[in-house]
Each structure stands twice: as structure tokens, then as C-alpha cells.
Structure 1
């Protein structure tokens, strides 16, 4: 049996030591041994196998909270690998559908509703209709609608790519324990605000309310990975640093 320090274990798994500490804090992966003096905690081969399972689930888009449940289910490693394979096949199928949709857009450079459904999900028309009903009489919705009307195929591809990249960065920062108020956290807040600005002016108050809406509505999971609550923490911390009380904000 081989024992690994946290630095060596992080290197073997291709993650940071900060990520391993976060997994330890939430009880997802804790080192199985301590040195005789108790000064250092060491990872075992079995721990690294569990770490690899976690990474596979994450690459398949499974939230950390759900990974803990999956790993606790009865069954051996083969059972877990079969589950992981099924998840990865689904992920690959989704990516193939996205590629086909982008290819069709490239061929005609015309963005149809079918294209949008393939890229943003089958529920895109429902979300659009709901947004129209809830905010159709507001200036911001009018601004967003005009922005989308002028957006060509490349623009929609860019929005989707930016959304996916932001969600991945947000989840990564959360998993690494980046604290609200850190420069990296503030950069993510600015990145999110810039994305909203693509459609309508985003004040800090609006951003707080949007982040809270993401956290309250499970349909926005894909937009923020599984880190909607974390985004709320980052945006509210940024607001407080700017002298804004998050408890008193209103859409303005």
C-alpha cells in the first residue's frame, strides 16, 4: 500500500491541494491515515480511487452533493464504473446534439427555435414564454428582446460558450474554497455582470436579485453548475464591499 501526502495526492489526481481540502471539509474525501506523530494526514490508494470516482462524476456534470450520495450507494467499484459510464454516455450524446445544432447554424447562419432548443435545452421556448409573461412590460425585457433580435448565429454560440465557461469557473472556484471578497471571487462577479449586460444594463442590485432567483429555481442549475448559492454569496459580498445592503435591494 502506498501513502500519499496531500501534495502528492493532488498531483496524482490532477487537482489542487485546496480542492482536496475542500472535499475533506465537506466529508467527500478524507485521507485514511495519519503519520505516527499525527502531524500529517496521508491518502491511501483506496482514497485515490475514490478521488478518481469523484472526478469522473464531476466531468459528467454531477453536483458534489449528489456525488456523495452516489458513492454511498451499495455496490462495488464495477457498479460505480457502470454508473459513471452511463452518465458519460449521456453527456457525450448531449454534446453531439450541440455540435449538430451548431453545424446547422453554420450552414445557414440562421438561428431557428429548433437550433436554440438544441443548444440551450428543450425547455428554452417555455422559459422564453415565461420571461415574456413576467417581464414583458419592462424596459429591461424590451432591451433584452432587441439585443436578441440583432444577435446572429455567432452571437448565440458565444453566449452559450460564455455561459458554460462561467458555470465551470464558478464551480471550480467553489470547489477550491475561493472565499467571497477575494480578488478571484470579485472577478467572477464582474464576469457574471458582463454576461447580463449583453442583454440589458446590470446594476449590482439586479445582479443580487438574479443570483437569488437562480438559487431558488432549479431550472437554472445548468447556468451556474451546482453553485447558485455560492454565486449569491459572492455577489452579496461584493455589494457589501461597495456599501450596498443586500437585504434592501430592489430591481431598479
Structure 2
């Protein structure tokens, strides 16, 4: 008969020596022998019992209940049969968990599915028209900014578009309020508003103060953009230009860089 020191037993069972010491301390698995110096020695029977403990533990049975199960009268075969029943139930539970995770993943994929033009129109109302997107592609389809924007959109689902719409509406509300209060371009609050506008663009592609000025000028030149900004495109331009000038942009020689 072989006896195993605690390190050897731990290696065989693939547990830590700390685990074996804990099982010993709570009376779950006491080693069959000890040396004169007090070192634990585990017998083959101890290891067989430890394997049963591991099966119960893997099945999710608390250690206290494992001790009670092992203390019940019955043969090793009966205990193994009980362990098998627990494992079968554990397998069924894991299968249910896998199905639940698959369902969550499927729902997440549906949320990230690119929206059709009709779905975008449903979210944005009259602010989104398929012909606008077609016109934009004709004008800027060969630019890096267009490619960045398209790549971003391909990763967006309905929740992302709804967030974009909500952020846009919030910005328009702030812009109108600032205009009605006569907020001075170049002020601290105006700078925050310009930064919010810059962030709204940068989620699609990289934008510099110079690019922001040229975009704001386009909003004024195209009534469709002015309508999107609730008639405040000119006021937005004044805010953007004041901030760009403060950041060193020459408003008489603005470049797309």
C-alpha cells in the first residue's frame, strides 16, 4: 500500500495543498496516517474518498452537504450512483446556461445589425432621406472621412442610432437656448457648445478645428443643413469660427486638414 505526502496527493488530485489542509481542518478528508513529525500521509482509500468529494464539489454541492452525504450509510456503488445523478443534473443545468448565453448573444447581434434606410428614417424622421446619403456618397465617397464614417456605421445597431438621434436633439436644444440668450461667441460656454458639436462629428471621422469651420460654413450654404439645425446654422458658424480663431485657425485661409 502506498502512502502519499500532501504535495503528492495534491498533484494527483489536481488541487492545492491548501485545499487538502482545509478539508482536513473541517473533518471532510482526514489523512489516514501522520508521520512522527506530524506530516500528513494519504492512503489510496483517502484518495478515492477525495475523488468522490471532487465529484460532489464539481456538481455544485456545498462542502457541508458533501460531508453529510459521505457520512450516510450505503455502499460506494450507491454513492457513485448518486454522484452520477448529480452530474447529469449539472450537465443539464450547464446546457440551459449555454442556451441562455446563446440567446443573449443572438439578441446582441440583432441589436448590432446594420439598419436599413427605412429604419433610419423611422428614428430620424424627416431629417433622414435615402437621397441625402446617395448624394453624400457621390460628393465624398472617395475620401478617407467617408470610409471612416461607413466603417463606423457598419458596426452600429438600432441602440447606437437612437443614441445619436438623442444626442443630436440635445445639442439642438442647447444651440437654440444659447442663441435665444445671446450667448457671445468665444465665451467659455460657447467653447463647450463648439466642443460638443466637434464630438458629434468625430464619432464618424477625425475632425480638426479647420474642418469644423468648413462644415459649419457648408451648413449655412445648404438650407437642408440649416433646417437640421433649426435655422441656427449661421449662429453655430459664428460660435465655431470664434473658437477656431482662438485655436489659431486663419479664417481667411481655412484648409481641410
TM interval, short-chain normalised: 0.5 to 0.7
TM alignment of 1:146-165, pairs within 5 A: 146-165=151-170
* Uncovered stretches (5+) of structure 2, i.e. residues with no partner: 1-107
Aligned counterparts of 1:208 and 1:190: Cα–Cα separation in 2: 12
Q: Is 1:236 equivalent to 2:241 in the alignment?
A: yes
Match of 1:119 in 2: 123
Residue-by-residue CA offset, 1:155-196 (whole Å, 9 max, x unaligned): 100111111110111011010010001111000000000000
Match of 1:20 in 2: none
TM alignment of 1:161-172, pairs within 5 A: 161-172=166-177
Moved beyond 6 Å, runs of 4+:
none
TM norm structure 2: 0.54
Aligned counterparts of 2:200 and 2:248: Cα–Cα separation in 1: 23
Select 1:136's aligned residue among 141, 144, 148.
141
Shift of 1:245: 1.1
Shift of 1:247: 1.8
Select 2:222's aligned residue among 217, 221, 226.
217
Where 1:245 maps in the other structure, the secondary structure is coil
TM alignment of 1:1-252, pairs within 5 A: 109=111, 110=113, 111-122=115-126, 123-252=128-257
Aligned residues: 147
Higher relative CO (CA 8 A, sep ≥ 6), structure 1 or 2? 1
Contact 1:166 1:224 in 2 (8 A): no
* Uncovered stretches (5+) of structure 1, i.e. residues with no partner: 1-105
Aligned counterparts of 2:221 and 2:250: Cα–Cα separation in 1: 20
